[in-house]
């Protein structure tokens, strides 16, 4: 049975520091039996970063489109896992206003980290929270995800490089409703092509560069990735093959 204390120890053993910025992709089921369940997992994570760090979860909402255009920062549930959904509901957690690719953040500079996401027409713009992960030299923890194919940060790297054909030319008129009930019109382009199914092929290269490590969190075999260094490696690969993530 895992406890808050044992999970905190797992973070330390993984080399994650309390002053880090950490983005988490997660499978709660993979962590195993935890005394107190998902709430204990979040307590351990939030207490670890309470004083110095920044904890971030993706709170993506893929289902929004022209026919279903309204995103509420308070009420629209995350579609990427139990921990993500419970985290974004917690007191003090702030969520960015992008209709499809929002993030939730808690800790140091959370307000400035999530600010202005609704100003961009693409999901992972360079000056959005997704780009700020690289600016802050963030780490990305994949808890029990088996591969890193769910790595939304790499969608951002592809956007910044300008990979041809990965974004729609047209913009859907989506609405983001903030915590005060104010509506923000967000003309949004969407990702095309299902590129994430090919992200896992970077694991070996990231490992050889020493920027991806195997770690354990509870029972979950997990990965820990350096965001800024992953960006640099992928950018160099895209110079050789801009369509790297469209084929095996």
Render pLDDT for 89-107 as a digit per residue (tens, 0 to 9): 999 999 999 999 999 999 9
Contacts 24+ apart (CB under 8 A), 229-233: 230/140, 230/153, 230/154, 230/157, 230/202, 230/206, 231/134, 231/153, 231/157, 231/160, 233/202, 233/205, 233/206, 233/209
Percent of the chain at pLDDT above 90?
93
Q: Which tens digit of pLDDT belongs to each residue from 187-225?
A: 999 998 889 999 999 999 999 999 999 999 999 999 999
Burial 128-146 (b: 16+ CB within 10 A, else e): bbbbbbbebebbbbbbbbe
**CA-based end-to-end distance of the chain:** 40
Could you state, in order of their start, the residue ranges of all structural domains in the chain?
4-246
Q: What is the mean pLDDT of residues 72-81?
A: 96
* CA angle 119–121–126, rounded 5-degree value: 75
Q: Which tens digit of pLDDT belongs to each residue from 2-47?
A: 999 999 999 999 999 999 999 999 999 999 999 999 999 999 999 9
Name the H helices within the chain.
4-13, 28-31, 37-48, 82-89, 110-114, 129-135, 152-161, 203-208, 227-240
pLDDT at 97 (0 to 100): 96
pLDDT at 63 (0 to 100): 87
Instruction: Quote the mean pLDDT of the chain.
Output: 95
Q: What is the mean pLDDT of residues 113-121?
A: 96
pLDDT at 66 over 90: no
User: How many residues in total does the chain contain?
Assistant: 248
User: Which one-letter DSSP state was computed for residue 217?
Assistant: E
- Please give the model's pTM, rounded to 2 decimal places: 0.95
Phi-psi region of 151 (alpha: psi -120 to 50; beta: other; left: phi over 0): beta
pLDDT at 64 (0 to 100): 85
Q: What is the mean pLDDT of residues 102-120?
A: 96
């Amino acid at each position: 049975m895992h406890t808050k204390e044992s999970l905190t120890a797992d973070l330390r053993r993984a080399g994650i520091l309390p002053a880090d910025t950490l983005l988490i992709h997660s499978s709660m089921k993979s962590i195993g039996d935890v005394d107190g369940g998902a709430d204990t997992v979040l307590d351990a994570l939030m207490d670890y970063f309470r004083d110095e760090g920044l904890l971030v979860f993706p709170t993506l909402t893929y289902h929004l489109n022209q026919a279903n255009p309204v995103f509420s920062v308070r009420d629209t549930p995350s579609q990427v896992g139990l921990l993500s959904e419970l985290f974004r509901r917690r007191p003090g957690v702030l969520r960015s206003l992008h209709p499809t690719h929002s993030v939730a953040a808690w800790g140091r500079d959370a307000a400035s980290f999530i600010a202005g996401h609704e100003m961009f027409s693409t999901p992972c713009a360079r000056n959005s929270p997704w780009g700020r992960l690289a600016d802050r030299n963030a780490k990305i923890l994949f808890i029990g995800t088996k591969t890193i194919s769910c790595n939304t940060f790499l969608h951002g790297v592809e956007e910044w490089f300008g990979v041809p054909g990965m974004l729609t030319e047209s913009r859907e008129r989506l609405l983001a409703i903030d915590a005060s009930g104010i509506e923000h019109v967000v003309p949004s382009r969407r990702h095309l092509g299902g590129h994430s199914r090919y992200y896992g092929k970077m694991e070996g290269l990231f490992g050889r560069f020493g920027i991806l490590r195997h770690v354990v969190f509870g029972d979950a075999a997990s990965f820990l990735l350096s965001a800024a260094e992953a960006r640099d490696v992928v950018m160099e690969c895209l110079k050789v093959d801009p369509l790297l993530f469209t084929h095996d």
